[in-house]
Structures are given as C-alpha cells and as structure tokens.
Amino acid sequence: MTLTLIHLLYLFYGFLVLFGVLALAAIWHMVKFGTYGTRNYVALFLFLAGVSVVMWGTFTLLRDVDWSRPLLQGLTLRAPSRISL
Amino acid sequence: MNISTLIHQKAYETRVLELRRHWLLLLKRVIVWAALAAIPFGLFVFLRVNVPAILAHPVAYPALVLGFGAFELSMWLVFFTMFIDYELDLWVITNDRLVSMEQHGLFARTVAELDLWRVQDVTTDVRGVFPTFFNYGNVHVQTAAATERFLLEDVPDPNAVRTFILEMADVDRRFHHSDAMPPPPVTTP
C-alpha cells in the first residue's frame, strides 16, 4: 500500500474531530460554570473567529494540492552495490 | 449562569465580594502563548528566505501547511482553555460564607466553602517582584475545623481582602453567638 498525501489529510481530519470534541468541552464549561459577562463573549468570539481564520487559511493554501501524490516521493533506498572491507 | 446560581445563594445571603486572580497572571500567560503561536509564521518566513524550494515541493508544502494548521488550532484551544482556567477560578464572599470555585484545565473542578464564623486566622503571602509591585498575592484562611487551609490564590490587594474577611467573620460570629444564646429570662413580679 502506498501512502499518499490524502492519508495525511485524513490524519488532519482525525485531528479536527478531536479538536472539535475538546472545543465543545471548553465551550460547555464556559456556559455551565461561567458568568455571563462581556469578557466571556469576547473570548468566545475570539476563539471562534481564530478557529475560522486558521481553517480558512489552511484550506485556501491547500486548494491546488494534488492529494494522490505518494508521500515518500523522491526518497529512494538503495542497497550498496559493493561492500569493500 | 449568574453568580447567585453558581454559589446557590440563600435567601438571607448577600454577596459582598467577588475575587478573581490578578489580571497580570493572564497577561503573562497570553504573552508566552503569543510567542509560541507565532512560531509557524517565523518558520514560514525562515523557509521562504533560506529554503524556498521546500515551499514549492508538491509533498513537503501540503504537509507543512497541515502541520501549521494543526499547531495553530491547538494553540487557539490552549488560549481558550487558559482563559477558562482564569475566568472560572472565582472566590465569592457573602455575609455568611466564603465559596471557592477553581477550574483545573478542562476536566477538573473544585468547589469548596466555609462558614465565615468558623474563621480563626487569615494570613497573606506576597512574594516576588511582580506581586509586590502590582499588589497581588495569596490569602490563607484557617478555620477551627479544617486542617487544610483555604487558599485564595493571587488575588488583588490581599491585605485588604484579609482585613475584610476578618471583619466579616467577626460580624458573622457575633450574629451566630447571639443566635445561640438562650432567650433572656422572663422576670415575674
């Protein structure tokens, strides 16, 4: 099986799922135990805005990538042709 | 949620003081966080200047972008967790008790309270350059019952808080004392 770039993208998606779970836990904590104040809303807005910008930036930069390329392209392992003692 | 609900405020209780850690502690963490969050951007500039070929590589470039993206998302989560850790650490002093709510990361939370009339000793602890200049520090509250001291960490103006707790404890102790006294004897002619 050849590892291609798409596998790296799947790995990133896996990370996004974990990130989403932890982010939801954090937001839940804020809603459940936090006090409703301007600071909380500003922090939540900053967090969501920051996440949106990072996601947008990442996927914009990856727009033209060919995901079928093998990951180890260009790396070759060659056995030594002659062993001199 | 408002503070009254958080502390299950009783009908006869009034909130007299709400304390959080000093803002400087959050600022210090945010500065360290910002420095760490800037690393991918610095690395990007470094690669662009020194190894521009890597940014045109069909495999290394997307791998780097995915890595940077994951790193920055993690940093945002760290930022938010840091804020929650700061924001959800709260000490509330009412006319009856002292309630401590402390958040430790995302999955640990401690809530404790003590009756003010039980307070025996309150000590403050200001150590270091920043705490001295910005006037923040720890306040230890010792009760007769508890072997462990109640700790209000890095609160602003700890000496004023200490005085205030002692005054409130005194008022509450007088109230409890008068409450515990037997009714005055009825004199018959």
Each residue's pLDDT, cut to its tens digit, for chain B (189 residues) gives 677 777 777 777 777 788 999 999 999 999 999 999 999 999 999 999 998 888 888 888 999 999 999 999 999 999 999 998 898 888 999 888 899 888 887 788 888 888 888 888 899 999 999 999 999 999 999 887 656 668 899 999 999 999 999 998 888 888 877 665 554 555 554
Kindly indicate whether the ipTM for this predicted assembly is greater than 0.85, answering yes or no.
no
For the stretch B2-19, what's the b/e string if a residue is b when 16 or more beta carbons lie within 10 angstroms of its beta carbon? Answer: ebeebbebeeeeeeeeeb
3-state secondary structure of B168: helix
- Any residues with CB less than 8 A from the CB of B28 and at least 6 apart, and which? B130
Question: Does the structure show a pLDDT above 90 at A18?
Answer: yes
- Listed by number, the residues of chain B in 104-123 with a beta carbon closer than 8 Å to a beta carbon of chain A are 106-107, 109
Q: How far off is chain B from A69, nearest CA to CA, in Å?
A: 7
DSSP code at position B57: -
Residue of B58, B74, B88 lying closest to A33 (CB–CB): B88
Query: Taking CB atoms and an 8 Å cutoff, what residues of chain A touch B108?
Result: none
Which residues are CB-contacts of B67 (< 8 A; sequence separation ≥ 6)? Answer: none
Both tokens assigned to B49: 């200047």
- Residues 124-183, chain B, touching A (beta carbon < 8 A): none
Q: How far apart are CA A72 and CA B157, in angstroms?
A: 60
- How far apart are alpha carbons B98 and B112 in whole angstroms? 8
Chain A, nearest residue to B71 by Cα: A54
Query: For the whole model, what pTM was predicted?
Result: 0.79
Task: Please tell me which of the candidates B66, B74, B83 has its beta carbon nearest to residue A12.
Answer: B66
pLDDT of A8 over the 50 cut: yes
Chain A environment of B62 (Cβ under 8 Å): 5, 8-9, 62, 65, 67
The pLDDT value recorded for residue A77 is 45
Q: Residues with Cβ < 8 Å from B150, sequence gap 6 or more?
A: B98, B100, B112, B114, B140, B141, B142, B143
